[in-house]
């Protein structure tokens, strides 16, 4: 399939995701809450540890510093922040799939579902935090070439775990088996490129470019107004795009498993995940 056709199909999937979200705007609440809680976590960890130990001591990577403690704190930060993001992604995917099945749902329903899967969410958060810490530690010791290799490893991990969350919470599998299943799905239904994700990236880039231009214009008028406006627009776009991508994951999973995908076109989804 030509690159232009892939882009058109990716854009079609993006539009369908936007349409579903526009009809069910409560889906935006999940990444909104996740973002707010994550900001609070960042403030708690970095503010609290800096106040108690001193920022230069906690995150010093060598010499007389406390590298072991810094890694422990980093792991805890990853664990909590990943746990929050995964929790609300599970709730969002649950609600999105119910919408695709024409079933009623609500914010409370999504959160309740996530609470029933809290053990699996915690297990996946531990794995994600461990991988994140390992990659961070390796990056600290790597040179420029090593950074490229680590970046590729991180990308491969993201591809391997593309379907982990829906597999983990909707199938009777543990974390390790869910990773294997996610990898098996990607291997069986691997396209030349994830054109939808690329389209999402272009949309995000265009939106943030507009934000930058708006900020530049407002900066000439009032600095405070420019900062408030840019931050508000940035947060709004981040929330919308996060929701769009997660809805796409839900639709792609449903399609691969032969389940209803609502308004998502099966042929277009096939073009993204083309069976070898």
Model pLDDT, residue 34: 92
Question: Angle CA(21)–CA(100)–CA(6) in degrees, nearest 5?
Answer: 70
Alpha-carbon distance of 96 to 102, in angstroms, equals 10
Directed axis angle between helix 29-42 and helix 67-100, to 10°? Answer: 170
Q: Where do we find the tokens 């639709």?
A: 251
Alpha-carbon distance of 273 to 133, in angstroms, equals 31
> How do the pLDDT tens digits run along the chain, 276 residues long?
555 666 677 777 778 888 888 888 899 999 999 999 988 888 777 766 655 555 555 445 444 445 677 778 889 989 999 999 999 999 999 999 999 888 888 999 999 999 999 999 999 999 999 999 888 888 767 667 777 888 888 888 888 898 899 999 999 888 999 999 988 887 765 554 455 566 677 777 888 899 889 888 988 888 888 898 888 888 888 898 889 889 988 988 888 888 888 878 777 776 666 544
Q: Which residues 6+ apart lie within 8 Å of 60 measured at CB?
A: 66, 67, 70
Q: Where do we find the tokens 């461990």?
A: 130
Question: Angle CA(110)–CA(116)–CA(118) in degrees, nearest 5?
Answer: 100
Q: Which residues 6+ apart lie within 8 Å of 98 measured at CB?
A: 104, 105, 109
The DSSP secondary structure of 122-172, one letter per residue, reads HHHHHHHHHHHHHHHHHHHH--HHHHHHHHHHHHHHHHHTTTHHHHHHHSS
257 by DSSP, 3-state: which?
coil
Directed axis angle between helix 144-160 and helix 118-141, to 10°? Answer: 160
The pTM score is 0.82
Alpha-carbon distance of 27 to 19, in angstroms, equals 12
Q: Which residues 6+ apart lie within 8 Å of 209 measured at CB?
A: none
Alpha-carbon distance of 213 to 171, in angstroms, equals 46
Indicate the domain borders of the chain: 3-272
Alpha-carbon distance of 21 to 240, in angstroms, equals 8
Model pLDDT, residue 131: 93
Q: Where do we find the tokens 């990773």?
A: 179
Size of the chain in residues: 276
């Amino acid at each position: 399939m030509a690159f232009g056709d892939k882009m058109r199909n990716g854009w079609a999937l993006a539009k369908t995701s936007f349409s579903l979200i526009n009809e069910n705007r409560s889906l935006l609440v999940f990444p909104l809450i996740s973002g707010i809680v994550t900001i609070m976590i960042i403030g708690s960890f970095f503010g609290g540890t800096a106040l108690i130990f001193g920022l230069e001591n906690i995150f010093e990577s060598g010499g007389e510093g406390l590298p072991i403690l810094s890694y422990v704190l980093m792991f805890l930060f990853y664990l909590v922040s990943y746990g929050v993001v995964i929790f609300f992604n599970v709730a969002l995917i649950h609600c999105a799939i119910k919408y695709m099945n024409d079933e009623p749902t609500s914010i409370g329903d999504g959160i309740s579902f996530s609470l029933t899967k809290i053990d699996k969410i915690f297990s996946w958060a531990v794995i994600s935090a461990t991988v994140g810490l390992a990659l961070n530690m390796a990056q600290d010791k790597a040179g420029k070439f090593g950074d490229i290799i680590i970046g590729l490893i991180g990308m491969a991990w993201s591809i391997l775990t593309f379907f982990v969350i829906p597999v983990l919470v909707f199938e009777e599998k543990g974390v390790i088996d869910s990773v294997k299943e996610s990898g098996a799905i990607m291997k069986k239904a691997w396209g030349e490129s994830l054109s939808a994700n690329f389209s999402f990236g272009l949309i995000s880039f265009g939106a943030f470019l507009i934000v930058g231009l708006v900020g530049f214009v407002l900066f000439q008028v009032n600095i405070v107004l420019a900062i408030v406006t840019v931050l508000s627009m940035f947060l709004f776009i981040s929330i919308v795009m996060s929701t769009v991508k997660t809805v796409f994951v839900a639709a792609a999973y449903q399609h691969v498993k032969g389940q209803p995908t609502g308004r998502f076109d099966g042929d277009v989804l096939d073009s993204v995940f083309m069976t070898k």
